[in-house]
Each structure stands twice: as C-alpha cells, then as structure tokens.
Amino acid sequence: MTLPGFVMLLCILGAQATVDLRQAAAMAAGLCNTKPTDVVFIVDSSRSVRPSEFEQVKVFLAKVIDGLSVGPDATRVGVVNYASRVKNEVSLKSHKTKAALVKAVSKIEPLSTGTMTGLAIQFAMNVAFSEAEGGRKSPDISKVAIIVTDGRPQDNIRDIAARAREAGIEIFAIGVGRVDMTTLRQMASEPLEDHVDYVESYSLIEKLTKKFQEAFCAVVSDLCATGDHDCEHICISTPGSFKCACREGFTLMNDSRSCSACSNAATDVVFLIDGSKSVRPENFELVKKWINLIIDKLDVSETNTHVGLVQYSSTVKQEFPLGRHNSKRSLKEAVKRMDYMERGTMTGHALSFLVDNSFGPNQGARPGVPKVGIVFTDGRSQDYIGDAAKKAKALGFKMYAVGVGNAVEDELREIASEPIADHYFYTADFKTMNQIAKKLQINVCQEEDPCECNSITKFQKKVEEALQALTKKLEAVTKRIAALENKIV
C-alpha cells in the first residue's frame, strides 16, 4: 500500500472510531433517537422452544424495545407469534410507550405446535405492516422485520421472503441452536453478514441486544463536526432536530448545549420499596442489589447525599432514616440486611408515610435540601395513591416510579414527576432491573444564587450582548429610513 493510501485508511478508521464512540456514549446516556420506523418482531414459539427459552426471547425483545425511541410519530413496534398458526400479539397501533409495549410482550404465551415460518412472513407482510394495524405508508418510514427461530420451516419461505423484501421490508434473521442456516440466508436482506445472526442457545440471545440497539440508534455527528450546532460533549442528531448530551458526572445546562459539573451535593434520597408477597424472596434479593447499584452512583457523605430506606407491603417499615449511614459501604451493608416483609401492596399508605414522615426534620431530612423519592413496585396498589402522589409533587419532591412485572403503568405515571417520561421506568423481568439503575439519573443541581458574583457577571454579559444586538438592528433600521428619505426627495 502506498503512503497516501495508508494515511487515507488511518483517517477513515479514525473517523469511524469517533462515530462509534459517540454512538456508544449516546446509548449509555439513553439518548438514542431512532429514525421513524415500523418494527415487527416475528417470533417462533413452536414446540421445540421450551417455555423457559421463550421467556429469554421476551427479555431480548424487551431490551431491544428499550433502546428505541417509541411513539406514534417515532418508532412503532408490533409482535407476531407463530408456530403452525400465526397470532398478532401486538399491533403497530396498540401501544405508544415503551412501558406498555414491554408489559404486552411479557404476557405473550408460546403456541407450542409446528414451524410455519413462511406463513408468518406472509402474515406480517399482509397484516402486521398494514395500515389497518398501524403500519405507515410514507416512503420516509422504514419497515423492519426481526425473525427469531430455532428450527427448519415446514413450508416454503424463499419466495415469500423475496416478496416481502421487494415490498420494502428489511428482514433480519436470528437463528438459535439447531436452526437451518440456509433458510436464514433465504429470509434475510442483503448484505447477509449484517442481517443474519446465530447463537448456540436461547440463553445467549441477549448478547445480540447491543447489535440491534446500535442498528436503530441514529447518532449523526456531522452537524456537530461542521459547527452548525455547538455541543460541548456529545451531539445526538435526528432528522430535523438535535440534542446535546454530557459525559458522566456532568449535567446539561439550561441552554441545552453546554455541560456543567453537577454532583448530588446536599440531596436527600429515600427509597420506597415494595416488599409484598408477589415479589418473591429471590427477586427481593435482586431488588436489594438494584438499590446498591444506584447507591454506587451517589455522592454519599455527611455533607452531600443522604439516603433513607422504607419497605412496605400491607404495613410500612422504616429500615433506616436519612443521615444514619454516611458512607456507601455502611449504606450497602444496611440494604443487604433488610428482611423481606411478604404481605399485601399498600402503595398509597407507603406514599403517605414518605410524605408525612421520611422527609421530616425528625427523620434526618435537612431543610432547604432537594428531596428525591424512588418508588419501586411490582403490582397494582390495593389502596388509593392519588392524593399522596399529588402531595409529594406539590411539596417539591422529585419522584421516580419504577415498575416490574405486573406493575400498573397508570399508577407509575401518577407517581412520577414531570417530565413523566424521564421519571418512570418499567421492565418485565427482575433480572433486567440493572438497566434501569444505569438510566436513573438523580443528579440535582442547585439553582445559582442571583446575588453571587459569577451570576452577576454572567447576567451583565448577557445584557451587553443583547444591547449590542439591538444597536446593530437600530443601525440597520436607520440606514433603511435614510435610503427611503433619499428616494422620496
């Protein structure tokens, strides 16, 4: 290779590495925005797929959905379940939020008969992607089918798959175990190396999650690179819009472009944890690990973040108040010692306790310090939550709502602070709760004191800039008036 050619190759590799880093950072920050897409999962649930394996497929679907920008005008998701027959489990028009989609996926049951993959593709093409089921006909809307199968089809798939691709459907084929690789290649779109995947068993299917999240993550760095948008750290761009993101430990400022170091200094955080019998002992241990993952992200100390913990079921039990433990090590040990209550689900009663007691001065809460409540539940409350939820937010508490399994989305939204989409989370499986811990950002920046020197300087600079802009406009208007007067004379 010639020297100029080698230099060009280095430039290409360097540019690609920059894009990959930006994409990875954006995904880690939960800031990927997908191009408007209609996505239909076509899932094999024939008798060769054991119930436990089908559960692993559902977890995979939930994780991919979690990486999408879901909404009526963004990405719509459908799920087709097939064996010897085909069942439209989730239509593209059914659910408008990730939480609702993931919950619907968690309820899908295997059909446990034959393997009619061709019939399933035909159904997806004729029904699942149709306008009647929520499919969009605009040429700007991509159509993607993701097929998951572990066997050899009992019908012809070559011609049907070809017609689907000709109709504009991009097909990804995922094979598991003893799948027939030839049929996978017959189904998939070109290039095959990007559209055909294989895993040895269903226990490994989750490793494909990242690939599909990256495939849908529309991170466009060109606008940032050209300087059209001046992002301090990372630029996340989608058609017609952009947003900036900050690296870990920094918070986006009000101008939505620059970042500021923002710790959780002087913040009171109280966990309100569901210990009802539906959680089950093994899952309660996972909940405790999840709490400790969040604690790891906090700036715990005597002067900075204080953490309290309340467990509830039919009754409420304060495990420890704010300020009792002022180190991460001590806090995490206290969480590990928490015993499982195992009774009913009185979320309303627990919220009232949080409002009336947990954030009171006699329970270690500090006056003038931001208050954050993190409510975890796995089911429907057996009492009314509305009044306590409203009171918490009226008092200025920042409320996060986290639901697992049979948690009710409407209740989570009622508990969560505005903007609701940033303050409530749902996952179908306790084993995937760690993803929520990574996304949940509790950083609270104190508002600047307008009387501080730095604030006055900033304000003065803004006033000067505004005056300069007005002066330029006045000069332009004066010139136009003079020109008009000359014409009149």
What are the pLDDT digits (tens) for 436-448?
A: 887 777 755 444 4
pLDDT over 60 (residue 427): yes
Bridge partners of 145, per DSSP, are 40, 171
Domains along the chain with CATH numbers:
35-216 (3.40.50.410), 268-439 (3.40.50.410)
The pTM of the full predicted model, rounded to 2 decimals, is 0.51
Sequence-distant (6+) residues with CB within 8 A of 59 are 206, 428, 429, 431, 432
Rounded CA separation 380/408 (Å):
6
For residue 10, the model assigns a pLDDT of: 40
Greater confidence (81 vs 228) lies with: 81
For residue 235, the model assigns a pLDDT of: 47
Rounded CA separation 26/233 (Å):
10
What Å distances lie between residue 423 and 138, 181, 372, 397, CA to CA? Answer: 33, 43, 11, 12
Rounded CA separation 272/105 (Å):
27
Going by C-alpha positions, the residue among 190, 148, 143 that lies closest to residue 35 is 143
Reported confidence tier of residue 3, pLDDT bands at 50, 70, 90: very low
Q: What is the dihedral of CA 20, 24, 29, 33, to 10 degrees?
A: 60
pLDDT over 90 (residue 414): yes
For residue 486, the model assigns a pLDDT of: 74
Q: Please classify residue 228 by burial: count the beta carbons closer than 10 Å to its beta carbon, then call 0-12 exposed, 13-18 middle and 19+ buried.
A: exposed
Read off the tokens for 268. 């009171």
Greater confidence (17 vs 124) lies with: 124
Amino acid at 346: M
Q: Where are the beta strands (DSSP E) in 162-291?
A: 169-176, 196-199, 234-238, 241-245, 250-252, 259-261, 268-274
Rounded CA separation 378/291 (Å):
15
Read off the tokens for 178. 């003893």
Reported confidence tier of residue 287, pLDDT bands at 50, 70, 90: very high
52-76: per-residue pLDDT in tens? 999 999 999 998 998 888 888 889 9
Pick the range with the lowest mean pLDDT from 69-78, 284-293, 294-303, 462-471. Answer: 462-471
124-174: per-residue pLDDT in tens? 999 999 999 999 988 888 899 999 999 889 998 999 999 999 999 999 999
Pick the range with the lowest mean pLDDT from 318-327, 447-456, 470-479. Answer: 447-456
Quote the mean pLDDT of the chain: 80
Task: Please identify which residue in the block is written with the tokens 């993550």.
Answer: 217
Rounded CA separation 214/233 (Å):
20
Q: Where are the alpha helices (DSSP H) in 262-365?
A: 281-297, 328-336, 347-353
Greater confidence (438 vs 391) lies with: 391
Reported confidence tier of residue 18, pLDDT bands at 50, 70, 90: very low
Amino acid at 240: G
For residue 436, the model assigns a pLDDT of: 83
For residue 145, the model assigns a pLDDT of: 96
Read off the tokens for 417. 């602070």
Q: Left (φ > 0), alpha (ψ -120 to 50) or beta: where does 387 sit? A: alpha
Task: Please identify which residue in the block is written with the tokens 């004379």.
Answer: 489
Q: Reduced to 3 states, what is the DSSP secondary structure of residue 112?
A: coil
- End-to-end CA distance of the chain, in Å? 73
Reported confidence tier of residue 178, pLDDT bands at 50, 70, 90: confident
